[in-house]
Amino acid sequence: RAPLLLSRCLLKMVKGNIIVPEEILNFCCNGLQGSTSPPRAGEPGEREEAALGAMASPSPARNPTEVQMSQLVLPCHTNHRGELSTGQLLKWIDTAACLSAERHAGCPCVTASMDDIYFEHTISVGQVVNIKAKVNRAFNSSMEVGIQVSYEDLCSGKHCSICKAYATFVAQGPLGSKVRLKPLTPQTEEEKIEYSIAAERRRMRLVHKDTLKDLLTRSPQETELETRDGSGAVPAERTRVESVELVLPPHANHQGNTFGGQIMAWMENVATIAASRLCHAHPTLRAIEMFHFRGPSQVGDRLVLKAIVNNAFKNSMEVGVSAEAHGQETSVGRRHINSAFMTFVVLDQEGRPRTLPMVAPEPGDGERRYREASARKKIRLDRKYVVSCKQTEVPLSVPWDQSNKVYLSYNNVSALKMLVAKANWALAREKEKVRMYTLEEDKFLSFRIEMSVCIPAGRAFSLLSNLRRRHEWDSHYMSAELVQKVDDDDMIYHVVSQKFRHENKPQDFVILASRRKPCSKGDPYVVAFRSVTLPTHPARAEFTRGETLCSGFCIWPESEEMSKVAYYNQAMPGYLNYVTTNVAGLSSDICSTFEACEKFLLKNKEDLISRLQDF
């Protein structure tokens, strides 16, 4: 029984976070293996071991990549106001996300980037932070991890959301080589939606720099500086902060590199100091724009952290912060490790944002950062209110603007992918090869109509994404004019439809058509439609202006020559009577239209004009 007694003591020591020498661990393990007298059923040792086994075994119903972390906020985690430090929260977020990524990869992973984070509430001492992280999708060597953060008040039982974030991790093999990841198979409806939209978020990350550059190119160079009243403005140089940190073993992760969460925490610290120098108060961090890790650092590196207020708006300010690393003090070369932009506010006693003093940028780089901060503010608002909001909260016809094209296109495609991934589609009608499904929700009735067609998926994609040819198979279309070619994947059309029964005049639509090729095997070709407004095409007296919120095609390859073609539509009120008449079997117009679509595809599948470059 000696090994058993020792194991019980060992268990208590582990619970108490006491370091146990390796010799004792080995002795205990060897003793237990050689013991022929197991503890009697129901003994404390057995119950303790069973409890440990229960804690170590994941729930069978849980996503295998899901990691849950709960942290009690202690005084050592807080700032001067007794609120959880954002830097500490970033450490926990990065740790949970990394563990989730490594569960899927089965090898070490490093943080490549962290998307925008909007902090909705602060967290106080004594409350519990609950973090849930799981892999949404794996690409070749990178994966997106979704993180949800909430807090729990143990006294009242109240739960509240803090933020939602998306991080990109890269799997690393020996000597830092990239590892090809196994694909992830989503199971639940929520996982299927996140899996589908992850490809769109990845696309948006890749074009972020181009979006900023394009916006700055088209913006007036001097407008902001000329209209700003310089009286009382604080020179930006006064807010500059430079600090150095020596990377020690406690700052390293299990791979020997500087822990990404620690770097983010140091960056948040110097950014807070810079913000305080402008407002002479204690600021609150409200948002962080994408962290981009450009390279690793190791134990022994000196990290030089720099921060400066780039621009101060009426109630918020943007602070730019960067991290550079070098080896010994005599080393001249510095490596750019990370950069980010943080938005701060200063709250009064009632919790309302205070008015901030203006910033006077220094000539040259200071003025460039000043203008870029204004552009980033617009992009942040676009991302937050066009991309992040629920589909039902988005106005039907969003004003089209060149500066927010990336986010409107994202919203267009992701809305269709969310509709496709929903469960509870019910088969309503079946007419020969055509099948019609419906999805009944609180606010919308959606329908899906599909069939298999003998045509390569890429060719069907090319034909169906060109609205100028839709009148050839859809009798409801009178004409479709290409108004603007935004890029190779996005077009804006002015569509005129035939008159419905009991209508005095035809409808017209201004439609954004966004198309996507498959990101990986198993993904469909996507053609998404939604209404936008253009100043050049206002509503006219001879038409009734119609709107479409979410519709489009998904095309899945079934073989080299066969494709499953499906059309989805979230029925608008003006279109509802037509849909319900078809769903109820009182009309076969929708099925007949789709049969005409099949004939159109078969007739034109060898047509060279339908190639993608002629779209």
Contact 181, 141 (CB under 8 A): yes
Query: CA 553, CA 563: separation in Å to the nearest integer?
Result: 12
Which 3 state secondary structure label does DSSP give 73? Answer: coil
Query: What are the structure tokens assigned to 321, written together?
Result: 């912060």
Under the banding of pLDDT at 50, 70 and 90, the label for residue 207 is: confident
Q: Which amino acid is at 525?
A: Y
Average pLDDT estimate for 35-56 = 40
Between residues 33 and 135, the one the model is more confident about = 135
Under the banding of pLDDT at 50, 70 and 90, the label for residue 257 is: confident
Between residues 531 and 217, the one the model is more confident about = 531
Burial class (CB in 10 A: 0-12, 13-18, 19+), 258: buried
Tens of pLDDT, residue by residue over 487-506, are 899 999 999 998 766 667 88
Question: Is the model's pLDDT at 293 over the cut of 50?
Answer: yes
Question: Is the model's pLDDT at 579 over the cut of 90?
Answer: no
Query: CA 157, CA 562: separation in Å to the nearest integer?
Result: 55
pLDDT of the residue at 384: 61
Cα–Cα–Cα angle for 606, 412, 372, rounded to 5 degrees: 120
pLDDT of the residue at 330: 55
pLDDT of the residue at 210: 75
For the beta carbon of residue 484, count every other beta carbon within 10 angstroms.
17
Judged by average pLDDT, the poorest of 100-109, 253-262, 272-281, 328-337 is: 328-337
Question: Is the model's pLDDT at 145 over the cut of 50?
Answer: yes
Percent of the chain with pLDDT over 70: 82
Judged by average pLDDT, the poorest of 372-381, 460-469, 521-530 is: 372-381
> Alpha carbon of 568 to those of 5, 147, 582: distances in Å?
66, 30, 14
Which of these, 406, 409, 414, lies nearest to 390 by C-alpha position?
A: 414
Query: CA 169, CA 137: separation in Å to the nearest integer?
Result: 11
Under the banding of pLDDT at 50, 70 and 90, the label for residue 255 is: confident
pLDDT of the residue at 552: 96
CATH number belonging to domain 395-604: 3.30.530.20
pLDDT of the residue at 419: 92
Under the banding of pLDDT at 50, 70 and 90, the label for residue 208 is: confident
Q: Which amino acid is at 610?
A: S
Average pLDDT estimate for 235-258 = 91
Between residues 438 and 214, the one the model is more confident about = 438
Under the banding of pLDDT at 50, 70 and 90, the label for residue 220 is: low
pLDDT of the residue at 58: 45
- In the chain, where does the domain assigned CATH 3.30.530.20 lie? 395-604
326: Cβ–Cβ under 8 A, 6 or more apart, which residues? 301, 302, 304, 332, 333, 334, 335
Q: Which fold has domain 66-217+233-382?
A: Thiol Ester Dehydrase; Chain A (3.10.129)
Under the banding of pLDDT at 50, 70 and 90, the label for residue 214 is: confident
- In the chain, where does the domain assigned CATH 3.10.129.10 lie? 66-217+233-382
pLDDT of the residue at 18: 42
For the beta carbon of residue 571, count every other beta carbon within 10 angstroms.
21
Tens of pLDDT, residue by residue over 358-373, are 999 999 999 999 988 8
Q: What are phi and psi of 225, to 5 degrees?
A: -70, -35
Judged by average pLDDT, the poorest of 245-259, 492-506, 540-554, 599-613 is: 599-613
pLDDT of the residue at 490: 93
Question: Is the model's pLDDT at 213 over the cut of 50?
Answer: yes
Mean pLDDT of the chain: 82
Between residues 383 and 195, the one the model is more confident about = 195
pLDDT of the residue at 332: 63
Question: Is the model's pLDDT at 221 over the cut of 90?
Answer: no
Q: Which amino acid is at 480?
A: A
Contact 550, 391 (CB under 8 A): yes
Query: CA 465, CA 511: separation in Å to the nearest integer?
Result: 12
Tens of pLDDT, residue by residue over 424-456, are 898 888 888 899 998 888 777 889 999 999 999
Contact 90, 166 (CB under 8 A): no
pLDDT of the residue at 115: 86
Between residues 421 and 209, the one the model is more confident about = 421
Question: Is the model's pLDDT at 263 over the cut of 70?
Answer: yes
Query: CA 325, CA 232: separation in Å to the nearest integer?
Result: 36
**HSE-up of residue 101 (Cα within 13 Å, Cβ side):** 28
